[in-house]
């Protein structure tokens, strides 16, 4: 089980509509539980994000780093890490 920082949970709670049409969590606790249930992953660099998405079968070879970070499943966390939530 992943330990999600407060920053990760807040980033997901604030920006969840980038991935989902309707909010899936309305409180900090619901967001944390949702992230645990869907096994969201915390990564610490754009390189790690690229490798993770590539290993998951996404064709990222032609994407710039900026384009990669704009993918709906990638949440930028204010502490320099990235949260990957697969729908």
Mean pLDDT, rounded, for 18-27: 96
pTM: 0.91
Mean pLDDT, rounded, for 31-56: 96
> What percent of the chain stands above pLDDT 90?
92
Q: Under DSSP, is residue 36 helix (H, G, I), strand (E, B) or coil?
A: helix
CA-to-CA distance for 34 and 8, rounded, in angstroms? 12
Mean pLDDT, rounded, for 16-36: 97
Q: What is the pLDDT, as a whole number, of residue 10?
A: 97
Spatial contact of 11 and 47, defined as CB atoms under 8 Å apart: no
């Amino acid at each position: 089980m992943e330990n999600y920082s407060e920053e990760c949970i807040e980033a997901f709670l604030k920006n969840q509509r980038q991935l989902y049409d309707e909010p899936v969590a309305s409180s900090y606790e619901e967001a944390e539980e949702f992230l645990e249930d869907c096994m969201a992953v915390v990564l610490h660099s754009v390189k790690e994000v690229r490798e993770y998405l590539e290993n998951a079968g996404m064709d990222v070879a032609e994407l710039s780093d900026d384009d990669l970070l704009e993918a709906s499943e990638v949440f930028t966390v204010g502490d320099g890490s990235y949260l990957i939530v697969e729908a």
